[in-house]
Amino acid sequence: MSDNQVFLNGEYLPIDEARVSVLDRGFIFGDGVYEVIPAYGNRPFRLEEHFRRLNNSLSAVRIDNPYSETQWAAIFDRLLAQHHGDQSIYLHITRGVAPRDHGFPADTPPTVFVMCSPIAPTNPDYLSKGFAAITLDDIRWQYCRIKSIALLPNILLRQEALDNNATEAILIRSGYVTEGSASNMFIVKDGVIKTPPHSDQLLPGITRDLIVELAQQQDMACEEATISEQELLDADEIWLSSSTKEILPITRLNDKPVGNGKPGAVWKTMYQHYQVYKQQLREQAEGQH
């Protein structure tokens, strides 16, 4: 691990030597935003979409993007070249280092940190059996569209799920599903896929958007519509999606089986489409080397 190079404020250095000030506003206030970008065949996945979301998060919190897309891509390429296989890029920008004061500091450069790590292969049990989730009240703020580094509510929710022998918490706000503690949510009922529409109450997941796109391409019935808690409880299938977990089936909810308690047929079909899409990207990337 120690020879794994990371990028910090213009320098490439071993992760053990990367240091930020205790006055960094990321450390003091959680004042920053982040992205997680998977890379297959050393090629970042859906980079344009991740850049768009990064720019939306940055402008929402009023931090200027410190680099052009070409500069970001050069940083990613250099870090990705250290490993082969599937990796995830973690990118983190804070409002920089300044004396502790809630108001924005003047003329302070942001802190920029990027690291890459291998994506662990999916636990085969998750694919063959699915896993458990519980519903919890969505205790987060009103700007969940922003990919904020301040994740304390998400962490508390995830831990509550783990403490209840579940892998993910499905969050409910005013009787409707928003998302998971670190994932987006899908249900299937009578063959129709459903996921909540983009709103301030959930992160516009890049994986989520791709699943909706794949469903359209493959003529699978898919709606972007609100999901009530009752619809969730009555669903034939429940899936989560995220960049590092892809699409996984939730087969137990609040200690009861979802549908027949096994990964569903619609999930299997979508999972296959997703794998084909990824493999095509890997092959394109290899063709260019």
Contact pick of 148, 167, 184, 195 for ligand PDD (by CB under 6 A): 184
Q: Contact region for ligand PDD (CB under 6 A) — 76-84, 180-188, 215-223, 262-270? A: 180-188
Contact pick of 42, 57, 183, 195 for ligand PDD (by CB under 6 A): 183
The size of the interface with ligand PDD (CB under 6 A), counted in residues, is 15
Residue 5, interface with ligand PDD (CB under 6 A)?
no
Asked if residue 32 lies in contact with residue 19, where contact means CB atoms within 8 angstroms, the answer is no
Q: Which amino acid is at 71?
A: Q
Shortest Cβ 57–ligand PDD spacing (Å): 11
Shortest Cβ 278–ligand PDD spacing (Å): 13
Question: Which among 27, 176, 3, 49 is positioned nearest to 95, based on CA atoms?
Answer: 27
Query: H-type helices in the chain, by residue range?
Result: 25-29, 47-61, 69-80, 124-129, 152-163, 206-217, 229-233, 265-287
Active site residue 147: yes
Shortest Cβ 246–ligand PDD spacing (Å): 9
Shortest Cβ 143–ligand PDD spacing (Å): 12
- Structure-derived torsion over alpha carbons of residues 281, 244, 109, 25, reported in degrees to the nearest 10: 170
Give residue 32's Cα distance to chain centre: 16
Binding-site string for ligand PDD from residue 111 to residue 150, where x marks contact by CB under 6 A and - marks none: ----------------------------------------
Beta-carbon contacts of residue 6 (< 8 Å; ≥ 6 apart): 12, 13, 14, 15, 18, 79, 113, 114, 115
* Closer residue to ligand PDD, CB minimum distance, 21 or 275: 275
* Closer residue to ligand PDD, CB minimum distance, 206 or 248: 206
Question: Which among 261, 245, 264 is positioned nearest to 253, based on CA atoms?
Answer: 261
* Closer residue to ligand PDD, CB minimum distance, 97 or 215: 215
Question: Which among 33, 3, 246, 21 is positioned nearest to 116, based on CA atoms?
Answer: 3
Residue 243, interface with ligand PDD (CB under 6 A)?
yes
Contact pick of 63, 89, 134, 182 for ligand PDD (by CB under 6 A): 182
Enumerate helices (H) and strands (E) in the chain, giving the number of each: 8, 15
Asked if residue 111 lies in contact with residue 26, where contact means CB atoms within 8 angstroms, the answer is yes
Asked if residue 109 lies in contact with residue 96, where contact means CB atoms within 8 angstroms, the answer is yes
Task: Compute the distance between CA of residue 95 and CA of residue 61 in angstroms, rounded to an integer.
Answer: 9
Task: Compute the distance between CA of residue 90 and CA of residue 147 in angstroms, rounded to an integer.
Answer: 12
Residue 32, interface with ligand PDD (CB under 6 A)?
no
Q: Which amino acid is at 108?
A: T
Shortest Cβ 185–ligand PDD spacing (Å): 9
Shortest Cβ 59–ligand PDD spacing (Å): 18
Binding-site string for ligand PDD from residue 185 to residue 204, where x marks contact by CB under 6 A and - marks none: ------------------x-
- Catalytic residue, candidates 129, 147, 194, 262: 147
* Closer residue to ligand PDD, CB minimum distance, 194 or 208: 208
Active-site residue numbers? Answer: 147
Binding stretches for ligand PDD (CB under 6 A): 36, 154, 179, 182-184, 203, 205-208, 241-244
